[in-house]
Amino acid sequence: MTIVQPMTTARTGTAEPGYMTGFGNQFETEALPGALPVGHNSPQRCAYGLYAEQLSGSPFTAPRASNERSWLYRIRPTVAHWGAFQKIDAGLWRTAPCAEVEMPIQPLRWNPIPFPAEGVGFLQGIRTITTAGDAATQSGMATHVYLATRSMVDEVFYNADAEMLFVPQQGALRLATEFGVIDITPGEIAVIPRGVKFRAELPGGPVRGYLCENYGGAFTLPERGPIGANCLANPRDVLTPVAAYEDRDAPTRMVVKWGGTLWATELEASPLDVVAWHGNYAPYKYDLRRFSPVGPLLFDHADPSIFTVLTSPSETPGTANIDFVIFPDRWLVAENTFRPPWYHMNIMSEFMGLIYGQYDAKPQGFVPGGFSLHNCMLPHGPDMEAFEGASKAPLKPHKLEGTMAFMFETRFPQRVTRYAAELPERQAEYGAYGSKLQKHFNPGRRDA
């Protein structure tokens, strides 16, 4: 297999080899000198006999701030691969709308899903936990756990239904994409835009992680408002790969997810054959430990939106199709304050996962690799242990360390799949965790 290493790496500062820094830039990168046309998108004949192809992530007429497209200079155009397709089994992968089971009204929580003893490939290992909205109307999302013990070999995939946000929890994942190669390990995330072909490889053994399929507006960095120009996820820490192509004439299976169905076709060559590209529609990665949290410096617990890494906007300003929020290492300093999350009910619905460490609202039972769902307008908050501990803890500055929980929060109710509802890892007793909270009321004692 030929993976041609990049010749140009418009690298600055702290970027790792093979990546360019910045978010939403107009990037340009070429793996052969002169492969990118200068001042031109579509010359009569492209250098090296390449084909030019535009990949549009937004309508042509989208406003500049949300207009996304790239030009790809490739060995064969994608349409050259368009042979006979066969519908294939989507396994445990589901697409919204998906009303397989009644929506439970309880809070739900699961232990980590174990690896199947017989091993599993990457696409077959995607297990849908929740779906929300409707992929066909380009709104909503699906949450999944991915489990894989085998790399994709002679196989590539693209998703026409959704942008894909990968959140590794165990093991290193290599995403060999049309735009270049992205390596991620737990603590990092990667986003692959809708329509971008890739192959998932496991350089270090089995992988498990969380995956959010975003059917709606492309993820972007949230506005910072009065926070100003710095902190939260800084654009310079977002990394986009430089061009790297395969000139590989070997039978390759291409799987396409389109309209909730998986389709497969046999190609005579690898379609990861983009020698050069330019534009602002491209995959990227980000190390969540670079997130600079901003929080309450004197009293009270702020809304978790202060920890938004990426947001998928809807047509209603401030009402996200999805917010991707993290709970990273940080200092808790608030005085005379109950420091963990408050008890609450929320119009948005909250899927949470734990990458590593302990989550302060649920110190036990919510374990790395596990996940929970607190749906639209269903009450939740710290469990009894967290409440009792935090109500009595001395309020010295305290550092939450070695922890990384996250939330996929959406404006739409999330439906669990039959698979998730029936998983043996579902914690049957979790729904009643709130009933352990004690009555402390004492009308005769104001400073109870």
Active centre residues (catalytic):
301
Of residues 306-345, those binding ligand OMD (CB under 6 A): 341, 344
Does 407 sit near ligand OMD (CB under 6 A)?
A: yes
| C-alpha 18, offset from chain centre | 21
CA-to-CA distance for 189 and 206, rounded, in angstroms? 17
CA-to-CA distance for 347 and 354, rounded, in angstroms? 22
CA-to-CA distance for 155 and 178, rounded, in angstroms? 13
Binding at 304: pick from ligand OMD, Fe ion, none (beta carbon under 5-8 Å per type): ligand OMD
CA-to-CA distance for 316 and 347, rounded, in angstroms? 14
CA-to-CA distance for 147 and 315, rounded, in angstroms? 34
Of residues 71-100, those binding ligand OMD (CB under 6 A): none
Quick check: 321 and 140 in contact, CB under 8 A?
yes
Residue of 206, 304, 363, 431 that binds ligand OMD (CB under 6 A): 304
The smaller minimum CB distance to Fe ion, of residues 119 and 379, is found at: 379
Quick check: 377 and 364 in contact, CB under 8 A?
no
Q: How far is the CB of 91 from Fe ion (least distance, A)?
A: 30
Does 201 sit near ligand OMD (CB under 6 A)?
A: no
Residues 332-351: x where in contact with Fe ion by CB under 5 A, - otherwise, as a string: ------------------x-
Of residues 342-361, those binding ligand OMD (CB under 6 A): 344, 346, 350, 361
Q: How far is CA 63 from CA 59, 248, 286, 370, 399, in A?
A: 9, 38, 26, 39, 42
How would you class 206 by CB atoms within 10 Å of its CB: exposed for 0-12, middle for 13-18, buried for 19 or more?
A: middle
The smaller minimum CB distance to ligand OMD, of residues 78 and 311, is found at: 311
Residues 350-389: x where in contact with Fe ion by CB under 5 A, - otherwise, as a string: x---------------------------------------
- Collapsing DSSP to helix, strand or coil, 226 comes out as helix
Binding at 407: pick from ligand OMD, Fe ion, none (beta carbon under 5-8 Å per type): ligand OMD
Annotated binding site: 344, 350, 359, 380, 398
Annotated binding site for homogentisate: 359, 380
Site residues for ligand OMD per CB under 6 A: 304, 341, 344, 346, 350, 361, 374, 380, 407
